[in-house]
Chains A and B, each alone.
Chain A
Amino acid sequence: MSTEIVSHFIAGYPDMESSLETARGLAEGGASYLEMQIPFSDPSADGPVIENACRLSLERGCTVDKSLELMEKIHGELNIPVFLMSYGNILFARGMKSMVQQAKDAGASGLIIPDLVYGRDEGLYALGKELDVPVLPVITPTIPAERLDEIIGLEPEWIYTALRSGITGSLTTLDESNLGLLDRLKPLKTKVMAGFGIQKAEQVRVLAPHCDAVVVGSAIVRAVTEAYNQGDRARNAARLIIEDLLK
């Protein structure tokens, strides 16, 4: 089975056009899925790399409407599923239902909203069912057993597993403490994407057999930032990093 990568990028970063170019590069490099983050002013589950990128994106004029337009464009142009990641307040402020509908209309394959957990979700999970948009629970290896059972019981299409007890951006070690959870989820019908701190091809190789797709985030943002600041094309940088990770 070939390795599937979910590659994360931020709408409007480094600028609107370059985020589209980034998405193109990620697809060309061989990513199987995209995860587009709509920037939020207070992304408390993200580390400094992504937070900074979100701030710059907003300063450069990115809005939710522009992000959704970008998603629609990517969805139409690239033959690749795109998940939408953001924070609860972006949905809540715009109206839960209209935002889920708009995400669906823009072609989102699923919604990743880490601070709206099942049971404290402002109706997100019910709306996902009603409008047929998968909502991805985000869990970590520290999750209590009963809670894990509850989430598995939802029979979501995907579960998003953050591999360590922290925030995005620093290197994660892969061992029994996190791979154990993945092996527990493996037999289920629910598919699992796993990430947080994945930066090297070697990690991708270790992780891939334990899940359905490996999520890469900060490493891409870092590569794109570096290229952009040197006047290089975001598209090439994005393509190269995925190619490297798949080596």
Chain B
Amino acid sequence: MKEYLSPLAANLKPSGIRKFFDLAATMEDIISLGVGEPDFATPWVMRESAIFSLEQGQTMYTSNAGLLELRRELSKYMAKNQGLQYNPDTELLITVGASEAVDLAMRALIVPGNGVLIPDPSYVAYAGCAAIAGADIHYVPLRAEHDFRLQVDDLQLAYTPNCKVLVLSYPNNPTGAIMTRDELLPIARFASENDLIVITDEIYSDLTYEGTHTPFATLPYMKNRTLHVSGFSKAYAMTGWRIGYVAGHPDLILAMTRIHQYTIMCAPIMAQIAALEGLKAGDSAKKEMLLEYDRRRRILVNGFREMGLTCFEPLGAFYVFPDITATGLRSDEFAEQLIKEEKVAVVPGTAFGPAGEGHIRCSYAYSTQQLLEALSRISRFVKKRI
């Protein structure tokens, strides 16, 4: 039936993690550090509020943009915690995860052939959604020597005048890197000079372990050219609920809401209710998870360094991204041999783009026992090779 497919669908590449997913699925007793989601269940206050809402029969559609009460609370939350000012009536859209928000943003902005600047390595959906929208993708390498912080020089090299959109995502998946306000300022200047719209995916912003997170939209003159994408999946451990949001200029949000209205209608109401409860009462549960991640982060970084691998200190999200070139293996060889020999699943850096070569992504959304066991197995594996 392939001949029936549109070239766009036919040419869409499988996600780079697919191969390891299939390999891991065939084996038993695997310890996986390959998961991009929290190991915690959603905080009970939030689950409980959703259960109660179901008992009350709150099972209907909501307005396309999402429950007004949720948008209001979110607007307050963003103002109070992040210094972001968005009008809940016109500048916020509740989506089915940050994933949908990225897709909507690309569809609303891209004319086929427009260039989209995408950091490499980065979360797999950006290039996927850009491709679906017909964009011309320009990868901008993130470099280990800069701790994977985006550099204007590299942007300049990747830029051509057809570029319309820049994707940013800090704290970053897969590297765990963050960028400070001072480091973001030149990027903002570059966006202004080249009239770029910036889609910034800040879904890990609450998982920042040092300093405070700077939302890109708070930089001078950036609010109008920024689509601020985020969600509840990570900090509130809500991956399966499918709920996120996007904030931006009313014209852009309106256009995105139109697409959303035909393709999705609205985000699930129970997820919206649980998210609302999270904003009101989820803070302490969120902080507790943060403490736990911070401790695990240090265990992993220390573990990799003790093996003799270079591992830069990730200050956000829940990933470490050690350099495995000392083993003489490529990323995918390392990951494949490791799972076969020691039954530990990690994701090769190249799953997130060619510049991920030489690295593996390990998640620390696991118990400390699991992390320590995984580290001892990886250490045995690495010792044989360096």
A binds B: no
